[in-house]
Amino acid sequence: MALRNILKLGDPNLRQKCYEVTIFNEKLGTMLDDLIDTMFAADGVGLAAPQVGIPKRICVVCVDEKTIYELVNPVIVKTAGSQKGQEGCLSIPGEHGIVERPKTVWVEAMDRYGKPCKYKVSDLTAVAFCHEIDHLDGKLFIDKIISND
């Protein structure tokens, strides 16, 4: 296990559009393990590779401390409904704000072995998926805050 340093707002890595993963090897598995360990160590519910300086389309999500989602090359293929809730980000400590997100999202991704996976998630998990997938395009929740209440 290795903890990675989480980059903070202002670091240009956070604003990059990340590259698709094309090679599924042991290194990718280690990267995913490190993202998961770093997310839990920082008490987060999600973490994306660019947040640790890796410009690749990889992120992890775990909102209930049980189900860990590993998303490689994730794409949101469909959304339904909407919800508004408070968000924060491990890269922007101390900052919070209300963001509008879909209530449910359908996502196609790959696992660490390159196997295609489909997910339908709602509520907090949908928020976390959207937030982390945004990171892969250099988008941050502070760009989308609709109020600070």
Q: Which residues are catalytic?
A: 132
Contacts of 94 (CB under 8 A, 6+ apart): none
Under rule CB under 5 A, residue 36 binds Ni ion? no
Site string for Ni ion, 65-104 (x = CB under 5 A): ------------------------x---------------
Nearest distance from residue 113's CB to Ni ion, in Å? 26
Q: Please give the span between the terminal C-alpha atoms of the chain, in angstroms, as a whole number.
A: 38
d(CA 133, CA 72): 10
Nearest distance from residue 149's CB to Ni ion, in Å? 20
Strands 58-61 and 69-80: antiparallel
In the complex, the residues that contact Ni ion under the rule CB under 5 A are 89
